[in-house]
């Protein structure tokens, strides 16, 4: 086996089935496409049916296998139905990437209780709901791999982002707890913590704050590597954690932020 073959083997996801939440756009879309590129069949979960179907079609146009399941990740019933749909159509679940989330740019005084609940339900509770459905299948399968998407603000505070920081901080510590609980089941659980990534969600934050987009993006890129992240940057980190190359990595919070927290 030559070096190129060995590298391909270490990153191969052939025969694996991956669920990616929030996969209709932004980081989730990038992750779904990257995992499909390396051989995984992808279950695209999102409340955005149009965007989700576009991702499905893109995967299939490249020779991959995918399904779309419309899912409100804050709903117990819809998460249960989505998990059952994937098992029915694909027979197994090897990888779960919990990427769905929202950012409401308000401090605790500005934030309503409804907004707090919505932010925590979509960003944090969803990790629990999907894991609750998927982990039993992984145990029966002999193992699996869960990658949660946190944030640089999982590890430090940020301005006017109280619910987002709380939810993403919870994602990191939930990741650690799950890694401890399920190592005995051969399930690895890790977290990727992105910095500012050029996505529709980042543009939404700019609008919420009422800032000039060019100035906002310039400030967001002000980090040692001198640029914003891309969905591919985060997808590559998820690929590493999902692959055999990371076989002894669990409970980690991998920061991918161009040096922003350095």
7-60, pLDDT tens digit by residue? 888 999 999 999 999 999 999 999 999 999 999 999 999 999 999 999 999 999
What average pLDDT does the chain have? 97
Q: What residue spans define the domains of the chain?
A: 12-253
Mean pLDDT of all residues in 148-164: 97
pLDDT band with cut points at 50, 70 and 90 for residue 190: very high
Per-residue pLDDT at 1: 73
- Can you name the CATH fold of 12-253? Rossmann fold (3.40.50)
Angle, helices 76-90/126-141, rounded to nearest 10 degrees: 30
Residue 106, Cβ neighbours under 10 Å: how many? 18
Cβ within 8 Å of residue 128, ≥6 positions away: 174
The one catalytic residue among 164, 169, 170, 191? 164
Contact 258, 220 (CB under 8 A): no
Residue percentage of the chain with pLDDT more than 70: 100
d(CA 232, CA 249): 21
Whether the CA torsion 210, 214, 219, 224 is positive or negative: it is positive
Per-residue pLDDT at 37: 97
Q: pTM score > 0.85 for this model?
A: yes
Whether the CA torsion 72, 59, 4, 255 is positive or negative: it is negative
pLDDT of 96 higher than 80: yes
128 is catalytic: no
């Amino acid at each position: 086996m030559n070096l190129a073959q060995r590298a391909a083997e270490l990153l191969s996801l052939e025969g694996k089935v991956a669920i990616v939440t929030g996969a209709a756009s932004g980081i989730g879309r990038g992750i779904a496409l990257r995992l499909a590129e390396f051989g995984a069949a992808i279950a695209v979960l999102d409340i955005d049916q149009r965007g989700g179907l576009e991702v499905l079609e893109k995967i299939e146009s490249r020779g991959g296998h995918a399904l779309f399941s419309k899912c409100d990740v804050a709903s117990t019933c819809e998460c249960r139905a989505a998990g059952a749909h994937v098992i029915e159509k694909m027979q197994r679940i090897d990888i779960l990437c919990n990427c769905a989330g929202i950012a409401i740019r308000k401090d605790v005084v500005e934030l309503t209780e409804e907004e707090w609940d919505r932010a925590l339900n979509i960003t944090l509770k969803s990790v629990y709901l999907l894991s609750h459905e998927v982990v039993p299948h992984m145990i029966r399968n002999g193992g699996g791999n869960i990658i949660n998407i946190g944030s640089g603000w999982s590890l430090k505070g940020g301005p006017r982002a109280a619910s987002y920081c709380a939810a993403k901080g919870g994602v990191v510590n939930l990741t650690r707890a799950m890694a401890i609980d399920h190592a005995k089941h051969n399930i690895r659980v890790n977290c990727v913590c992105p910095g500012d990534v050029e996505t529709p969600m980042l543009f939404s934050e700019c609008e919420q704050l009422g800032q000039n987009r060019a100035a906002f993006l310039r400030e967001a890129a002000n980090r040692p590597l001198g640029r914003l992240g891309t969905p591919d940057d985060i997808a590559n980190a998820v690929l590493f954690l999902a692959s055999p190359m990371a076989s002894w990595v669990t409970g980690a919070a991998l920061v991918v932020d161009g040096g922003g927290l350095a």
